[in-house]
Amino acid sequence: MSRHNSPVNAHIIQRIEIWPVDIPITDPFVVATGARVMAENLFIRVTLRDGTQGIGEAAPFPEVGGEDRPTCFAAATELAQAMIGQSAADYESLADRLHEQAPLQPAARCGLETAILDAYCRAQSIPLWRLWGTADIRERETDITIPICSPDRTLELARGWYARGFRLFKMKVGTDVELDIRRLHAVHDTLPDIGFIGDGNQGFSREDCLRFVSGVKQFGGRLVLLEQPLVRDDLEGLQAIRHLTGVPVAADESVRSLGDAREVVRL
Ligand SMILES: [Mg+2]
């Protein structure tokens, strides 16, 4: 076996291509922090020396992560240069380098890291979950997101997804608590055997969140999860909501680092 084709060399990152992709959104995606009618993403393709290719996608969402496509593209292009000539097998130290170089560009880092991991796994003909050592591959029920819109439009969307088999609805809420309750109530009254996730995208005050939960409980709605109801820094508030309502609370925007995740788990 020549040195050039040894397994280690085979994983050397030889080329990285990045290109913009505009994905029109059928229903304008409205959450408490903003609206989106077009997903302005980037696709990233990594080619290893042995020809294996991996694909990643960077999905900057200015209203949530502070990155837009121009800054994401610039960051990804610069980061890509630092990855050329490195071995995809060193994916952990590469991720550290990406983080050191661009701590405030998580979408750019995510796209690149995904492409590198995808290429590395494809080169070894293993699925990503095997790389992590184990997997829990039980079937799970997924949900469908309903953006913030009028009760009529909410109902129309929910009916459409229900007909396609969805029973778990992730309702974007957090701008108008009374309207939120009415939207969920309308769906609850129309469609049997469904559950709700309430994703506030940091839009609720503690008081509004408690009003929202008791409003949903009053009409008999099944609220299985509250996602990021309060501003990201208010971890004590999230903890209080969890204990006061009995509804599990998921942190989303609150977690941007391993340290954030540890703190959330601790609380
Ligand atoms: Mg969320």
42-67 pLDDT, tens per residue?
999 999 999 999 999 999 988 767 88
Q: Ligand 1 centroid vs 172 CA: distance in angstroms?
A: 8
Q: pLDDT, tens digit, for every residue of 169-184?
A: 999 999 999 999 999 9
Q: pLDDT, tens digit, for every residue of 111-156?
A: 999 999 999 999 999 998 899 887 788 888 999 999 999 999 999 9
Tokens 């309430």 locate to 198
* SS3 per-residue string spanning 204-218: CCHHHHHHHHHHHHH
- Confidence tier at 69 by pLDDT (50, 70, 90): very high
The residue type found at 36 is R
Q: Ligand 1 centroid vs 136 CA: distance in angstroms?
A: 23
Q: Ligand 1 centroid vs 20 CA: distance in angstroms?
A: 24
Stretch(es) of the chain classified as CATH 3.20.20.120: 144-266
Stretch(es) of the chain classified as CATH 3.30.390.10: 3-130
CATH annotation of 144-266: 3.20.20.120
| Distance between CA atoms of residues 173 and 149, nearest Å | 9
Q: Is the pLDDT of residue 30 over 90?
A: no
Q: Ligand 1 centroid vs 90 CA: distance in angstroms?
A: 31
Q: CB neighbours of 164 closer than 8 A, spacing ≥ 6?
A: none
Asked if 69 contacts 41 with a C-beta cutoff of 8 angstroms, the reply is: yes
Q: Ligand 1 centroid vs 250 CA: distance in angstroms?
A: 9
Q: Ligand 1 centroid vs 145 CA: distance in angstroms?
A: 10
| Distance between CA atoms of residues 30 and 35, nearest Å | 4
CATH annotation of 3-130: 3.30.390.10
Q: Give me the pLDDT at residue 145, please.
A: 94
Q: Give me the pLDDT at residue 8, please.
A: 66
Asked if 111 contacts 136 with a C-beta cutoff of 8 angstroms, the reply is: no
| Distance between CA atoms of residues 64 and 31, nearest Å | 10
- Confidence tier at 14 by pLDDT (50, 70, 90): very high
Q: Is the pLDDT of residue 244 over 90?
A: yes
